[in-house]
Amino acid sequence: MSLLAVAATFEGKLPYEIVDANHLADPIETLSDKVVQTDARILALTVMPGPQTASSFEITLALKRRFPDLVVVWGGYFPTMYPRAAMSCPAVDYGLKGYVNGDLGTFLQSVLDGTPDLSYPNLIYRDPQGEIIQNRMSKLVDINSLPEFPYKALDMEFYMRPTFLGSRTIGHHISLGCPFKCGFCGVVSMVNGKTSAETPDLGARGVARLVEEYGANAIEFHDNNFFLGEARTKSFCDQIAHHKIKWWAYGRGDTLLKYSEETWASMAASGLKMVYIGAETGSDATLKKMNKGGKQTVNGILQLAETMRKFDIVPEFSFIIGNPPDPVTDMDETLEFIKKIKVMNPGSEIILYSYTPVPQEGEMLQSAEDAGFVFPTEIEEWSSEHWQRICQRRDGELPWITEKIRRKLRNFRLVIDSTFPTVTDENLSPMKRTILRTAGRWRFATNFHYGPYELRLLNKLIPYQRPETAGF
């Protein structure tokens, strides 16, 4: 979607080709061939922290060696959050922070003309002395003013995939940004608490296009915060209900808790099956430390779990485990809270992550730095296996996460995943689910998580996916 959004801004003005390097056996050779075949002069990459940073670094260096005059532009979360690290790669000519505006084509044309517009908002570049310059961030674009995605630039069949939602599931979004500034969230660097949402009518037309023109029967809405306004949400749901699709989206717990039963009924009738909600922790004090904002509380999450059970919509609660300065107490409080959620609504999905700092001043980052955390400054270190795992929030390779914490968390995951197998894994037959539940139930009931060797063996015999690492 990020590439479609960028391409839409200069559709019909500049020739382009979208290449999804995530699905290429040899991205460097494929892209090299494309440069030769199309006489491309600009290579623009969208870069996320983690594996995309490493692969983008490798691709950029290789293509710059082969085509020294090729202009390389990096955009996306990584250059937005870590602009100096992005520009530490000598092969990157320009970076772009935040969301692109509708006039990106004008800047790219200036580059092609040999007179790059160095006043362009959001631009990162080097001056003649090699100093890195960062232009001001522009106002968040009105999403209603942007052109439609140029789906014809892609093989849409390739992106239709089977999930628990439907046999032809595709990603989409109808809003930008989030009004909150959580201390652990990279979205803050992109929008600084600003939002822009499509009108219900425009959003419904986008759904109709995917359903009627491309045969989608399920949609994953990857908006940073989908449920921006109850009236907007209800109107949108009422307008798409006749399509009989199933859908999933991100949402805020405190926002959803304020919705009326009438709106919940409309959401359910429109095909909403699951909402990803940042519950974050089992402590109200930690929510405050996280700068979660709004009116979210631990009790509010429990109430939301009960409401969603009533309307047969699955809450997918995510948690950030083991936060400094006291990661053990933080973990224990949160794991106990998760058990309460499972008693309240056994169908709740549980997603567990370790806290990974983002460059946002606040109590969370300060606690991490006090524990010895330091961001890399060079692209080579960001591309290392160690930092790729940290950015993916895997295994807690951080100063405050001890082996004891990792082991306890792994054991808890085994017990929870066995006792309550995810509904998103369609490879689990009813019999397999019964076996897993039976094996894990006694441990959940007695709170005995130590040494779950039988569950580890069972996980090998009956493999099941965890949504935080495998998605749907």
- At 398, the amino acid letter reads L
Check residue 39 and give its pLDDT: 96
Check residue 102 and give its pLDDT: 74
Check residue 149 and give its pLDDT: 93
Domain assignment of residue 95, yes or no: yes
Check residue 285 and give its pLDDT: 94
Q: Are 194 and 116 in a shared domain?
A: no
Q: Are 170 and 86 in a shared domain?
A: no
Q: Are 110 and 181 in a shared domain?
A: no
Beta-bridged to residue 169, according to DSSP, are 161, 218
Q: Are 83 and 160 in a shared domain?
A: no
- ∠411-296-347 over CA atoms, to 5°? 45
Q: Are 253 and 305 in a shared domain?
A: yes
Per-residue tokens: 122:
């959001």
For residue 192, the domain's CATH number is 3.80.30.20
Q: Are 180 and 275 in a shared domain?
A: yes
Last residue of a domain, one of 362, 385, 419: 362
Q: Are 272 and 240 in a shared domain?
A: yes
Angle at which helix 298-310 crosses helix 327-344, to 10 degrees, equals 30
Check residue 347 and give its pLDDT: 94
Domain assignment of residue 55, yes or no: yes
Q: CA 142, CA 125: separation in Å to the nearest integer?
A: 26
- Per-residue exposure over 135-166, b if at least 16 CB sit within 10 Å of its own CB, e if not: eebbebbebeebeebbbeeeebeebbbebbbb
CB 174, CB 197: distance < 8 Å: yes
**Could you tell me which residues come within 8 angstroms of residue 239 by beta carbon, excluding any fewer than 6 positions away?**
200, 201, 204
Question: pLDDT band for position 23 (50/70/90)?
Answer: confident
Beta-bridged to residue 197, according to DSSP, are 175
Residue, of 23 and 302, whose pLDDT is higher? 302
Domain assignment of residue 383, yes or no: no
Check residue 471 and give its pLDDT: 52
Whether 468 has a pLDDT exceeding 70, the answer reads no
Last residue of a domain, one of 362, 397, 431: 362
**Could you tell me which residues come within 8 angstroms of residue 231 by beta carbon, excluding any fewer than 6 positions away?**
none
Report, as an integer, the average pLDDT of 191-212: 97
CB 452, CB 415: distance < 8 Å: yes
Q: Are 117 and 217 in a shared domain?
A: no
Q: CA 182, CA 178: separation in Å to the nearest integer?
A: 10
Domain assignment of residue 417, yes or no: no
pLDDT digits (tens, 9 = 90+) for 389-427: 899 876 557 889 899 999 999 999 999 999 999 999 888
- Coil, helix or strand at residue 346: coil
Domain assignment of residue 41, yes or no: yes
Q: Are 87 and 186 in a shared domain?
A: no
Q: Are 189 and 321 in a shared domain?
A: yes
Q: Which burial class, exposed, middle or buried, applies to 211 when counting CB atoms under 10 A from its CB (0-12, 13-18, 19+)?
A: buried
Domain assignment of residue 403, yes or no: no
Average of per-residue pLDDT values in the chain: 94
Check residue 22 and give its pLDDT: 82
Cα-Cα end-to-end distance for the chain:
18
Report, as an integer, the average pLDDT of 284-307: 94
Max intra-chain CA distance, the chain: 70
Domain assignment of residue 222, yes or no: yes
pLDDT digits (tens, 9 = 90+) for 311-356: 999 999 999 998 999 999 999 999 999 999 999 999 999 999 888 8
Q: CA 320, CA 354: separation in Å to the nearest integer?
A: 5
Q: What percent of the chain has pLDDT over 70?
A: 98
For residue 99, the domain's CATH number is 3.40.50.280
Number of domains within the chain? 2
| From 60-74, 201-215, 458-472, the region with the lowest mean pLDDT | 458-472
Q: Are 270 and 124 in a shared domain?
A: no
pLDDT digits (tens, 9 = 90+) for 75-134: 999 999 999 999 999 999 999 999 877 788 999 999 999 999 999 999 999 999 999 999
Beta-bridged to residue 319, according to DSSP, are 280, 352
Last residue of a domain, one of 134, 163, 190: 134
Check residue 396 and give its pLDDT: 55
Check residue 99 and give its pLDDT: 87
Check residue 469 and give its pLDDT: 59
Lay out the sheet containing 71-75: strands in order across. Answer: 42-46, 71-75, 94-96, 123-126, 132-134
Check residue 240 and give its pLDDT: 98
| Domain, as residue range, for 300 | 155-362
Q: Are 323 and 196 in a shared domain?
A: yes
Domain assignment of residue 345, yes or no: yes
pTM for the full predicted model? 0.94
